[in-house]
Amino acid sequence: MKADVLLGLQWGDEGKGKVVDVLTPRYDLIARFQGGPNAGHTLEFEGTKHVLHTIPSGIFHADTLNVIGNGVVIDPVVFKKEVDSLLSRGVDVRKNLKISRKAHLILPTHRLLDAASEAAKGQSKIGSTLKGIGPAYMDKTGRNGIRIGDLENPRFIELYTALVDKHKAMLAHHQYAYDLSALEPDFFTALEVIRSIPFIDSEYVLNDALNSGKAILAEGAQGSLLDIDFGSYPFVTSSHTVTAGTCIGLGIAPTSIGKVYGIFKAYCTRVGSGPFPTELNDETGELLRTRGHEFGSTTGRARRCGWLDMPALKYAIMLNGVTELIMMKSDVLSGLDTLKVCTAYRYRGEEITHVPYDVVNEHIEPVYTELGGWSEDLTGVTDVAALPDGLNRYIDFIERETGLPVTIVSVGPDRMQTLLRTVLA
Ligand code: GDP
Ligand code: IMO
Ligand code: MG
């Protein structure tokens, strides 16, 4: 078997959690491959809403094994909150969750360093979620990090103290005031919760699963336009959010990747700083934010909203080798007479259709193609045959531009508000 991948093609929050939950019955195993508690993946079913940060979105399906891969960074404090919240919903993660020994830990001092670094940047801050992601990945690549497997080491506390001492020196350099003693008790309590989950050599578990014919779905976090290499650097996250990140973050060979589901909103949103060519700072932007409830699942911050950006979408499709598209939040566009889609950029006096190197300092003006909208409310539609013509024309346009099928259309936040346009293989 090959591992399928589901990842975001924009700046995150495309609706990955919802669709992973919908697709989970088709898979034996769901595996997160990168990111950490900067992610907020929302699932809605049976009238309740649930936000996951570190735990894969297949967790509500008791027969599916969920794996936190080696590419993930884990904050035990956030993880414990997730476990407690799931327990209150009757879900005991000890039954179907396992953690890679090679995943890295986020320490309280990583969070402090994130805050100190953003404060030092002032106006040019990244708009980080302040979850300690950047500092934790810096320690990983700097070869100073502490891994989940180190929790099995009797010398864990020595490793912890040595790294914290290093961090204290860095915080002193930033002249950043903090009270670590207020943070450590929660951290050490939460470590015991982590210890109650089985640790695994996940690269073996996943490859053995593939070899024995099990179906795996890899769940991405963030979005392709936040990738450390291909996003609008430095306004990016610190991990590889593209398909290649699946191979690294799970230990699966490129030849073992099967389908790549690329998920996008019918418009665009971005939370945090950084370029956003199609951003709407007007009443249409406000309408999208209000109708789409565009407020961060992790930080509650208002998301910036704008029209669909085709050069950026095609860039993400190219980087990821997307095989099929999933369009989310179509219902939010109902009632708009005209929909705009950016099909090119005006850049340095020229019209271009690629994403240029310098998107941060140069002015990028979107060139729009206008399409008719639809007035019908989509949230109660249960059959693709009942989708309005205006929406079908919008989807046709996207399929023609990208050369890919839109196989799933989402018309509301609930699990049930998901329409399959073809029978999925
Ligand atoms: P993720 O990070 O990619 O999992 O996405 P988030 O959960 O951060 O953000 C997606 C938001 O949109 C959540 O609040 C979902 O409940 C909601 N959502 C998902 N699909 C749809 C949809 O088709 N229509 C509407 N109106 N909301 C949706
Ligand atoms: P999900 O998985 C949307 C953004 C932050 C900031 C930048 C860097 O829910 O789609 P970081 O905390 O990683 O240092 O922040 O990336 N960001 C996200 N935006 N969805 C996410 O995750 C995000 N994770 C990080 O807002 O601009
Ligand atoms: Mg999110």
Across 146-169, average pLDDT: 98
Q: What is the pLDDT of residue 33?
A: 98
pTM (2 d.p.): 0.97
The three-point CA angle 350-353-354 to 5° equals 105
361/235 Cα distance (integer angstroms): 12
What percentage of the chain has pLDDT greater than the value 70?
Answer: 100
Q: What is the pLDDT of residue 46?
A: 96
Indicate if ligand 1 lies below 6 Å from the C-beta of 332.
Answer: yes
Give per-residue pLDDT as tens, 30-75.
999 999 999 999 999 999 999 999 999 999 999 999 999 999 999 9
Phi-psi region of 230 (alpha: psi -120 to 50; beta: other; left: phi over 0): alpha
Phi, psi of 421 (to 5 degrees): -85, -20
Non-local (6+) Cβ contacts of 332 within 8 A are 266, 267, 288, 291, 292
Q: What is the pLDDT of residue 82?
A: 98
Q: What is the pLDDT of residue 235?
A: 97
Both tokens of residue 92? 């005991």
Q: Looking at the CA of 220, which ligand is closest?
A: 2
222/236 Cα distance (integer angstroms): 9
Indicate if ligand 1 lies below 6 Å from the C-beta of 36.
Answer: no
Ligand 2 binding residues, C-beta < 6 A:
8, 11-13, 35, 38-41, 126-129, 131, 133-134, 221-223, 226, 237, 271-272, 297
Confidence of residue 423 (pLDDT cuts 50, 70, 90): confident
Non-local (6+) Cβ contacts of 8 within 8 A are 14, 16, 220, 221, 222, 223, 224, 241, 263, 264
Non-local (6+) Cβ contacts of 388 within 8 A are 374, 375, 376, 378
Indicate if ligand 1 lies below 6 Å from the C-beta of 194.
Answer: no
> Looking at the annotation, which residues are catalytic?
13, 41
The answer on pLDDT for 238 being more than 90 is yes
**What residue's CA is closest to ligand 2, atom 15?**
128
Q: Among the atoms of ligand 2, which is closest to the Cα of residue 114?
A: 14
Residue 216 vs residues 33, 57, 128, 209: alpha-carbon distances, Å: 12, 13, 31, 8
78/165 Cα distance (integer angstroms): 23
Indicate if ligand 1 lies below 6 Å from the C-beta of 17.
Answer: yes
Across 229-250, average pLDDT: 98
Residue whose entry in the numeric block shows the structure tokens 């005209």 = 338
Could you give the count of Cα atoms lying within 13 Å of 360 in the half-sphere of its Cβ?
12
Give per-residue pLDDT as tens, 346-385.
999 999 999 999 999 999 999 999 999 999 999 999 999 9
Give per-residue pLDDT as tens, 280-330.
999 999 999 999 999 988 888 999 999 999 999 999 999 999 999 999 999
Q: Among the atoms of ligand 1, which is closest to the Cα of residue 417?
A: 23
The answer on pLDDT for 83 being more than 80 is yes
393/391 Cα distance (integer angstroms): 5
Q: Looking at the CA of 32, which ligand is closest?
A: 2
Whole-number Å distance, alpha carbon 39 to ligand 2 midpoint, is 6
User: What would the 3-class secondary structure string for 305-336 be?
Assistant: EECEEHHHHHHHHHHHCCCEEEEECHHHHCCC
Q: Looking at the CA of 57, which ligand is closest?
A: 1
